[in-house]
Amino acid sequence: MLRRLLRRVIRSAKLLNIDTPIVGDLMATVRDAMGPSYPELVSDFDRINRIAVAEETAFNRTLASGSRLFDEVAGTTKAKGATVVSGSDAFTLHDTYGFPIELTLEMAAESGLRVDEAGFRELMAEQRRRAKADAAARKHAHTDLTAYRELVDAGPTEFTGFDELASEARILGIFVDGKRVPVVAHGSEGQAANGDRVELVLDRTPLYAESGGQIADEGTISGTGSGGSARAAVTDVQKIAKTLWVHRVNVESGEFVEGDTVIAAVDPGWRRGATQGHSGTHMVHAALRQVLGPNAVQAGSLNRPGYLRFDFSWQGPLTEDQRTHIEEVTNEAVQADFEVHTFTEQLEKAKAMGAMALFGESYPDEVRVVEIGGPFSLELCGGTHVESSAQIGPVTILGESSIGSGVRRVEAYVGLDSFRHLAKERALMAGLASSLKVPSDEVPTRVANLVDRLKAAEKELERVRLANARAAAVNAAAGAERIGNVRVVAQRISGGITSADLRSLVGDIRGRLGSDPAVIALIAEGENDSVPYAVAANPAAQDLGIRANELIKPLAAAVDGRGGGKADLAQGSGKKPAGIDAALDAVRSEIAAIARVG
Torsion of CA 543, 544, 545, 551, to 10 degrees: -110
Among 235-244, 282-291, 502-511, 558-567, which is the least confidently predicted range? 502-511
> Do the two domains 145-266 and 461-597 of this chain adopt the same fold?
no
**pLDDT exceeds 60 at position 569:** yes
**pLDDT exceeds 70 at position 139:** no
Q: Is the dihedral of CA 92, 98, 104, 110 positive or negative?
A: negative
pLDDT at 193: 47
Q: What is the mean pLDDT of residues 518-523?
A: 91
Q: Residues forming the annotated binding site for Zn(2+)?
A: 278, 282, 381, 385
The pLDDT confidence band at residue 476, using thresholds 50, 70 and 90, is: confident
Q: Where are the domains of the chain?
A: 2-133, 145-266, 271-422, 461-597
**pLDDT exceeds 50 at position 190:** no
Label the pairing between strands 84-85 and 114-115.
parallel
pLDDT at 272: 96
**pLDDT exceeds 90 at position 452:** yes
The per-residue pLDDT of the chain, averaged, comes to: 86
pLDDT at 222: 94
Q: What is the CATH number of domain 145-266?
A: 2.40.30.130
Q: What is the CATH number of domain 461-597?
A: 3.10.310.40
Strongest mean pLDDT among 307-316, 319-328, 556-565: 319-328
Q: DSSP state, 121?
A: H
Task: Read off the pLDDT of residues 458-469 as tens digits, 9 standing for 90 and up.
Answer: 889 878 877 877
* Of residues 102 and 245, more confidently modeled: 245
For the residues of 464-484, what is the DSSP string, one character each?
A: HHHHHHHHHHHHHHHT-EEET
pLDDT at 128: 75
Q: Residues forming the annotated binding site?
A: 278, 282, 381, 385
Task: Read off the pLDDT of residues 330-383 as tens digits, 9 standing for 90 and up.
Answer: 999 999 999 999 999 999 999 999 898 876 677 889 999 999 998 899 999 999
Helix (H) or strand (E) holding 460: helix 443-478
Q: What is the CATH number of domain 271-422?
A: 3.30.980.10
The pLDDT confidence band at residue 542, using thresholds 50, 70 and 90, is: very high
Q: Is the dihedral of CA 243, 244, 250, 253 positive or negative?
A: positive
The pLDDT confidence band at residue 133, using thresholds 50, 70 and 90, is: low
The pLDDT confidence band at residue 72, using thresholds 50, 70 and 90, is: confident
Q: DSSP state, 390?
A: G
